[in-house]
């Protein structure tokens, strides 16, 4: 997605970064939680640096040949590296992706940059840019290949790494990057942006997305699916593992685990203080279900979820893993007393 405008909460970071272009590092790391527009920022930044005629506030002009090439994903001085299939957002591939969805950046992808780095730039500015996201998708081999490139920077080349899990990056890569903390919008900023963008139920969605406005805005297609899943989860002990697993797998491993974490978080909150944080519309049902919750099982389950999240980028047996998690979920609840 190329968004041609900075988000309101990014203006200050933009000014700081563009004010000091001369002293800019040859590698930047834009880090911060997901759903706050890091990638859009990085894309806009790359485009503006390549632009032949940037505006006074250093934004791309959107008129020059360079901007045109950029818009058509065809800029000779720009490379974007991303886990291969992740660029393909259509639903079919995510369903088919079950076991095979690419979630790593391969060493071949990084090595393919060496030609690009050894060529001279097509434009007289001399700038060339490599955008890597999410940088935590680099595996050991690809990270080491990248490290070599960062250690021997080619003139005029800027690497932009985007990450919401920077702790997963090699320390040696981290130390070669200028780190930029991407701003998190306040709730008011998020809501006002969502309302201007015409998103309904903004407050509710924002709550579910843990405060990330872009995540909240992208929930459109997922709403129906989520409703099916939550209905299953409400069955507690009687949940149909296979139905629920087939819904979860479509969401992708990481989202699936997030959904389970949010749901069980609300169960616990409801059990302890009769409140919910993410699922306001299910508050009454959640409270009923939470009365059957067994604490010891709950804590074991939380540990399992955290573990599963750590291995979420490994494509192996995701379906089996989800089924096991869901089976364990059914064990969180006492058998109802028949009275």
Number of residues that bind Zn ion (CB under 5 A): 5
- Sign of the CA dihedral 301, 306, 307, 309? positive
Residue placing its CB nearer to Zn ion in the complex, 70 or 282: 70
Instruction: Measure the CA–CA gap between 188 and 186, rounded to whole angstroms.
Output: 5
Q: What share of the chain is helix, strand, coil (3-state, %, to 5)?
A: 55, 10, 35
Instruction: Measure the CA–CA gap between 65 and 103, rounded to whole angstroms.
Output: 33
For the bound state, the minimum distance from the C-beta of residue 10 to Zn ion, rounded and expressed in Å, comes to 19
For the bound state, the minimum distance from the C-beta of residue 24 to Zn ion, rounded and expressed in Å, comes to 19
For the bound state, the minimum distance from the C-beta of residue 52 to Zn ion, rounded and expressed in Å, comes to 5
Per-residue mark of binding to Zn ion, 65-84 (x: CB under 5 A): --x-----------------
- For Zn ion, which residue of 51, 194, 217, 325 counts as binding (CB under 5 A)? 51
For the bound state, the minimum distance from the C-beta of residue 76 to Zn ion, rounded and expressed in Å, comes to 15
Q: For the sheet containing 78-81, what is the strand order?
A: 78-81, 128-132, 157-163, 27-31, 178-181
Query: Residue 64, interface with Zn ion (CB under 5 A)?
Result: yes
Instruction: Measure the CA–CA gap between 207 and 280, rounded to whole angstroms.
Output: 9
Residue placing its CB nearer to Zn ion in the complex, 60 or 158: 60
For the bound state, the minimum distance from the C-beta of residue 75 to Zn ion, rounded and expressed in Å, comes to 11
179 in helix, strand or coil?
strand
Task: Please name the helix (run of DSSP H) or strand (run of DSSP E) that holds residue 244, with its range, or none.
Answer: helix 241-251
Residue placing its CB nearer to Zn ion in the complex, 64 or 141: 64
Residue position matching structure tokens 């990450």 = 163
Of residues 222, 285, 205, the one with CA closest to residue 89 = 222
Residue placing its CB nearer to Zn ion in the complex, 64 or 241: 64
Task: Determine the interface stretch with Zn ion among 6-14, 23-31, 59-67, 311-319 (rule: CB under 5 A).
Answer: 59-67
Task: Determine the interface stretch with Zn ion among 6-14, 63-71, 204-212, 219-227 (rule: CB under 5 A).
Answer: 63-71
Residue placing its CB nearer to Zn ion in the complex, 60 or 233: 60
Residue placing its CB nearer to Zn ion in the complex, 65 or 223: 65
For the bound state, the minimum distance from the C-beta of residue 59 to Zn ion, rounded and expressed in Å, comes to 9
Show contacts with Zn ion in window 100-139 (CB under 5 A).
none
Distances (CA, A) of 248 to 74, 259, 272, 315, 317: 35, 9, 27, 14, 13
Show contacts with Zn ion in window 184-243 (CB under 5 A).
none
Show contacts with Zn ion in window 134-173 (CB under 5 A).
none
Residue position matching structure tokens 């005629």 = 53
- Enter the tokens of residue 38: 């890091």
Query: Residue 305, interface with Zn ion (CB under 5 A)?
Result: no
Q: Which residues contact 142 (CB under 8 A, 6 or more apart)?
A: 104, 105, 106, 107, 109, 110
For the bound state, the minimum distance from the C-beta of residue 64 to Zn ion, rounded and expressed in Å, comes to 3
Residue placing its CB nearer to Zn ion in the complex, 124 or 167: 124
For the bound state, the minimum distance from the C-beta of residue 71 to Zn ion, rounded and expressed in Å, comes to 10
Task: Determine the interface stretch with Zn ion among 10-18, 57-65, 207-215, 298-306 (rule: CB under 5 A).
Answer: 57-65
Instruction: Measure the CA–CA gap between 309 and 253, rounded to whole angstroms.
Output: 8
Backbone φ and ψ for 243, nearest 5 degrees, come out as -60, -50
For the bound state, the minimum distance from the C-beta of residue 61 to Zn ion, rounded and expressed in Å, comes to 4
Query: Residue 58, interface with Zn ion (CB under 5 A)?
Result: no
Residue placing its CB nearer to Zn ion in the complex, 29 or 60: 60
String of b and e for 52-67 (b: at least 16 CB within 10 Å)?
A: eebeeebbbeeebebb
What is residue 33's DSSP assignment? -
Residue placing its CB nearer to Zn ion in the complex, 61 or 226: 61
Residues that bind Zn ion in the complex, under the rule CB under 5 A? 51, 60-61, 64, 67
């Amino acid at each position: 997605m190329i968004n041609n405008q900075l988000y309101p909460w990014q203006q200050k970071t933009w000014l700081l970064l563009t004010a000091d272009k001369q002293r800019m590092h040859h590698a930047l790391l834009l880090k911060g939680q997901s759903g706050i527009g890091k990638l859009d920022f990085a894309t806009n930044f790359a485009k503006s640096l390549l632009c032949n005629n940037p505006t006074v506030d250093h934004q791309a002009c959107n008129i020059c040949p360079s901007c045109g090439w950029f818009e058509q994903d065809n800029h000779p001085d720009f490379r974007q590296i991303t886990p291969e299939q992740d660029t393909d957002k259509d639903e079919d591939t995510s369903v088919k992706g079950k076991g095979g969805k690419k979630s790593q950046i391969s060493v071949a992808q990084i090595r393919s940059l060496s030609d690009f780095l050894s060529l001279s730039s097509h434009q007289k500015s001399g700038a060339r840019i490599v955008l890597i996201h999410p940088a935590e998708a680099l595996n050991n081999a690809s990270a080491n290949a990248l490290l070599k490139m960062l250690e021997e920077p080619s003139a005029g080349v800027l690497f932009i790494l985007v990450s919401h899990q920077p702790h997963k990056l090699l320390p040696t890569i981290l130390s070669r990057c200028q780190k930029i903390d991407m701003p998190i919008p306040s709730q008011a900023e998020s809501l006002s942006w969502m309302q201007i963008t015409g998103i309904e139920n903004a407050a509710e969605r924002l709550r579910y997305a843990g405060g990330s406005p872009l995540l909240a805005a992208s929930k459109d297609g997922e709403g129906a699916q989520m409703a099916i899943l939550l209905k299953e989860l409400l069955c507690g002990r009687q949940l149909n593992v296979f139905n629920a697993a087939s819904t979860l797998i479509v969401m992708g491993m990481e989202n699936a685990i997030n959904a389970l974490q949010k749901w069980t978080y609300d169960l616990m909150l409801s059990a302890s203080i009769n409140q919910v944080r993410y699922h306001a519309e299910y508050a009454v049902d959640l409270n009923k279900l939470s009365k059957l919750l067994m604490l010891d099982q709950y804590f074991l389950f939380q540990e399992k979820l955290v573990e599963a999240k750590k291995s979420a980028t490994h494509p192996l047996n995701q379906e089996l893993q989800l089924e096991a998690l869901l089976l364990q979920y059914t064990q969180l609840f006492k058998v109802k007393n028949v009275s």
